Chains A and B, each alone.
Chain A
Amino acid sequence: MLYVVLVFLVVSFFLYVLLGGADFGAGIVELFSSKDNQKPIKKTVYEVMGPVWEANHIWIIIMIVILWIGFPMTYNIVVVYLHIPLTLVLLGITLRGAAFIFRHYDAVKGQSSQKLYDNLFRISCLITPIFLGMTFGALVTGDIMLLEDHPGIGFYDAYVHPWLQLFPILIGCFYATLCTFLAAVFLIGEVSDAQREMYIRKGKVAVIAVVVTGFLVLITGFAQGRDFVLDFVRDPFAVCSVVSSAILLYPLWRAIRFGRVERCRFFAGLQVALILFAAAITHFPKVIATTTGKLDFMQNTAPDSVMTVLGWSLIVGGLLIIPGFLHLLKSFHMIKILEKE
């Protein structure tokens, strides 16, 4: 059952990072657009993300719940030592969701109130993935100091330093660029030809940003001698994944040129998934690195009785949710795409 639970955890992690990431990315695309473009983008984002964004964000709740039930030790370290960045992620998620609903459901479409909601939405779309990335970055940086290993350490060393430094910040920026890339490619399929060119341009800029920030992460990791980066480049699986992700840019480009909407979404999703896979596989199962060693994810699990019940709950829940989720996607997306082609 441990593996069933693990599959659900990994799947919800990937889905959150991809789908939630595309949601954040849509706001980032909006943020970095000219005033004239922002209006049509806002409309498209509403039409495309509106029906699904709530569902997209539930994956993070599922992830958290699986973590605390099945992997309480890992969860404990994350919530104690990364309290502050997680709170900031939470702030971002809250403001983003609230601003999205406010700007579309406010009965009076006032100029100034709409401007406020728009700015709130766009900025929280940018900062949330950065803090999410920083949280992940902090876990792999290796600077988490456990209180039991270092009695009497100060507030800064215990709760701030692990995440507020160059390496995790770069990882955060890297994730934000991935989100932008996902959103740009996703939105290409939702608009008429005139606007399509704009999203293609944005997609190109995003690819460049991904490559640049990715390199910065690697270089900084090397310079600082971070285990994560050193192991990463030595791991054949990780390197292969990243290389294949880069190679996939070519078929992606062709798919976009030929207007194959579903195919280009698939490629873009696969590319990001490969990068994530590379990042996750490097140290798995020793995901959390502290100053005194690495915590083994698979050896600090809940008792078997808990895992069995959790596994079955997830299977039953999954059977309820997945058909509905697919039907939702079909009702609002795929049909539209089929109409176009």
Chain B
Amino acid sequence: MDNLDAARLQMAFTLMFHIVFACIGMVMPFFMVVSHYKWLKTRDPVYLTLTKAWQKGVAIFFVTGAVSGTALSFELGLLWPEFMKHAGPIIGMPFSLEGAAFFVEALAIGFYLYGWNKINERFHWITGVIIGVSGVASGILVVSANGWMNAPSGFDYVDGKFLNVDPVAAFLNDAWFSQALHMTLAAFASTGFAVAGIHAWQVYKKRNPELHAKAFRIAITFGGIAALLQPISGDISAKDVAKRQPVKLAAMEAHFETQKGAPLFIGGIVDEEKKTVTHKIEIPKALSFLAFGDFDAEVKGLNDFPKDELPPIAIPHYAFQVMVGMGMVMALSAIVYFISIRKKKWREKRSFWLLFALLAPTGYIALEAGWIVTEVGRQPWIIHKIMRTKDAVTPMPGMIYSFYFYLMLYTILTLTVIWLMRRQIKALNEKLD
């Protein structure tokens, strides 16, 4: 494996971890403050127990999110020094604002975790809300930097130099809105389903069903609403990509031939050499409609782009199918949940709880798949049409060892966190028994 591929793998790998940690750290505080609010309103001790249990989760995931985020702030430079030399100043604004938001979050978390019975009850609860709000704000801000890589703006590119830099224009790049909306909803949907799934499993196993059912309700309400809104945001994103990065859209859809009234492929096996897709389900004219809102619009195919500007095709195509598939499953199960609010009988069935327990990983699978689509789909560029990834990588050889090192470190950390969460749930159940 050459240096570039090793560096890319390392970046992909650390980002995949960070995204999950960061999403949990962004969204769980909201569950926690809802439960906390119910405790303050009803003084039902179950809500206090739940709040404190979730608080431990928030603490653990905040730290893992924070350290993996610190790692990324190092890695951006360590792996892509040429990119950062030029892009760093241009996309500095979202990063510096994100730093501020993150700082506010760390302060709020200090107040919240250590503030029980020490500070004013209402102020204490508000610091919990601040954790969530600033967490989501940092997520939205940092996505702007990624948006800029897809839709570079705020500078003039003359003879390999970045002139007339306008950081505000770079910050407000065209891709930011659609990407940030999609990402924020994804964070809520995935974490909502994951947390709901864990508690559903406890109800299914009949361990303290009273507490776990309450926990489930809070988490799935957030997750369900986000999962129902996500298809709308996905449509906005697709139309945006069709306009800005047609080659990425073509790769996502494995669309080789330029045509009017282009069909949509579901599934299928991509053969990049022969430029064909076999074993697919074809929906006539659907791609043209989804991309441009017109059944007869022309969709440019991969064959009509310069060869050296093509991304890998199979990976984004498969990842896209996985993302959409998981999203559909989640939206349908969200409907099942919202119907069950009326039809209480559904919740007495064990299969109801088993269903949601099994759905726990779906959100994160969709989340990772979505990032694979957008990141691999942007290749070979690190800055779309400006700088190639291969020109940005560090000159230091031996990146493969660095990759193995990070692989080991993150695997150990993840296993530890999972193990700790299991102990957490076990201890909670034992305490309640």
Find chain A residues with CB under 8 A from B59 CB: 101, 105
A75 to B394, CA, bound (A): 13
Select the residue from B70, B90, B405, B423 with max chain A CB neighbours within 10 A. B70
Number of interface residues of B (CB under 8 A): 67
A76 adjacent to B167 (CB under 8 Å): no
Partner of A58, one of B102, B113, B118, B420: B102
Known contacts A317-B100, A320-B100; A94/B420 CB under 8 A: no
A58 adjacent to B106 (CB under 8 Å): yes
B225 adjacent to chain A (CB < 8 Å) = no
A334 to B97, CA, bound (A): 29
- Mark contacts of A84-121 with chain B using CB atoms, 8 A cut-off: 1 yes-contact digit, 0 otherwise: 00110011011001101110011110000000000000
Q: Which of A200-208, A224-232, A266-274, A307-315 contacts B (4 or more CB under 8 A)?
A: A307-315
A211 adjacent to chain B (CB < 8 Å) = no
CB distance from A24 to the nearest CB of B (A): 15
CB distance from B394 to the nearest CB of A (A): 6
- Mark contacts of B73-88 with chain A using CB atoms, 8 A cut-off: 1 yes-contact digit, 0 otherwise: 1101110011011101
- Mark contacts of A58-75 with chain B using CB atoms, 8 A cut-off: 1 yes-contact digit, 0 otherwise: 101110111011101101
A residues 129-145 in Cβ contact with B at 8 Å = none
Select the residue from A90, A107, A159, A316 with max chain B CB neighbours within 10 A. A107
Known contacts A50-B113, A51-B114, A328-B111; A72/B86 CB under 8 A: yes
B232 adjacent to chain A (CB < 8 Å) = no
Q: Which residue of the partner chain A has the closest CB to B421?
A: A107
B284 adjacent to chain A (CB < 8 Å) = no
B396 adjacent to chain A (CB < 8 Å) = yes
Q: Which of A251-259, A278-286, A298-306 contacts B (4 or more CB under 8 A)?
A: A298-306
CB distance from A292 to the nearest CB of B (A): 17
A75 to B68, CA, bound (A): 20
A94 adjacent to B70 (CB under 8 Å): yes
CB distance from B365 to the nearest CB of A (A): 25
B397 adjacent to chain A (CB < 8 Å) = yes
A147 to B59, CA, bound (A): 43
Partner of B99, one of A58, A70, A328: A58
Partner of B106, one of A55, A75, A313, A331: A55
Find chain A residues with CB under 8 A from B271 CB: none
- Mark contacts of A138-163 with chain B using CB atoms, 8 A cut-off: 1 yes-contact digit, 0 otherwise: 00000000010000000100110000
* Contact-residue bracket for chain A: 35 or more
Find chain B residues with CB under 8 A from A101 CB: 59-60, 63
B100 adjacent to A331 (CB under 8 Å): no
A93 adjacent to B167 (CB under 8 Å): no
B88 adjacent to A66 (CB under 8 Å): no
Q: Which residue of the partner chain A has the closest CB to B55?
A: A105
Q: Which residue of the partner chain A has the closest CB to B102?
A: A58
Partner of B74, one of A62, A64, A325: A64
B63 adjacent to A155 (CB under 8 Å): no
Known contacts A54-B63, A72-B85, A331-B119; A65/B104 CB under 8 A: no
A54 to B395, CA, bound (A): 33
Find chain B residues with CB under 8 A from A73 CB: 85
Find chain A residues with CB under 8 A from B92 CB: 65, 68-70, 302, 306, 309-310
Find chain B residues with CB under 8 A from A314 CB: 96
A29 to B96, CA, bound (A): 34
A240 to B282, CA, bound (A): 79
A57 adjacent to chain B (CB < 8 Å) = yes
Partner of B396, one of A83, A313, A316: A83
Find chain A residues with CB under 8 A from B126 CB: none
B166 adjacent to chain A (CB < 8 Å) = yes
A306 adjacent to B67 (CB under 8 Å): no
B96 adjacent to A66 (CB under 8 Å): yes
Q: Which residue of the partner chain B has the closest CB to A79?
A: B77
CB distance from B70 to the nearest CB of A (A): 6
B63 adjacent to A90 (CB under 8 Å): no
A306 adjacent to B107 (CB under 8 Å): no
Find chain B residues with CB under 8 A from A310 CB: 92-93, 96, 167
A40 adjacent to chain B (CB < 8 Å) = no
- Mark contacts of B114-152 with chain A using CB atoms, 8 A cut-off: 1 yes-contact digit, 0 otherwise: 110011000000000000000000000000000000000
B427 adjacent to chain A (CB < 8 Å) = yes
Q: Which residue of the partner chain B has the closest CB to A158?
A: B396
A62 to B394, CA, bound (A): 23
A198 adjacent to chain B (CB < 8 Å) = no
Find chain A residues with CB under 8 A from B66 CB: 54, 57, 97
A52 adjacent to chain B (CB < 8 Å) = yes
Q: Which residue of the partner chain B has the closest CB to A69?
A: B92
A69 adjacent to B96 (CB under 8 Å): yes
A66 to B93, CA, bound (A): 10
B416 adjacent to chain A (CB < 8 Å) = yes
B395 adjacent to A306 (CB under 8 Å): no
A residues 18-60 in Cβ contact with B at 8 Å = 50-52, 54-55, 57-58, 60
B97 adjacent to A108 (CB under 8 Å): no
A321 to B96, CA, bound (A): 13
A83 to B402, CA, bound (A): 10
A297 adjacent to chain B (CB < 8 Å) = no
A321 adjacent to B109 (CB under 8 Å): no
Q: Which residue of the partner chain A has the closest CB to B94?
A: A313
A100 to B69, CA, bound (A): 17
CB distance from B132 to the nearest CB of A (A): 16
CB distance from B13 to the nearest CB of A (A): 14
A324 adjacent to chain B (CB < 8 Å) = yes
B64 adjacent to chain A (CB < 8 Å) = yes
CB distance from B124 to the nearest CB of A (A): 10
A75 to B82, CA, bound (A): 11
Partner of A328, one of B88, B110, B164, B420: B110
Find chain B residues with CB under 8 A from A55 CB: 103, 106-107, 110
Q: Which residues of A contact B (CB under 8 A)?
A: 50-52, 54-55, 57-58, 60-62, 64-66, 68-70, 72-73, 75-76, 78-80, 83, 86-87, 90-91, 93-94, 97-98, 100-102, 105-108, 147, 155, 158-159, 302-303, 305-306, 309-310, 313-314, 316-317, 320-321, 324-325, 328, 331-332
9 pairs of A and B residues whose beta carbons are closest in the complex: A69-B92, A317-B100, A107-B427, A79-B77, A302-B89, A68-B88, A51-B110, A54-B106, A309-B167
22 pairs from A and B in contact (CB 8 Å cutoff): A51-B114, A54-B62, A54-B63, A55-B107, A57-B70, A61-B69, A61-B70, A61-B102, A66-B96, A68-B89, A69-B88, A75-B77, A79-B78, A86-B74, A90-B71, A94-B67, A303-B89, A306-B167, A320-B103, A321-B100, A324-B107, A328-B111
Q: Give 5 A-B pairs besides A50-B114, A72-B86 with Cβ atoms closer than 8 angstroms.
A: A57-B70, A87-B78, A94-B413, A309-B168, A321-B100
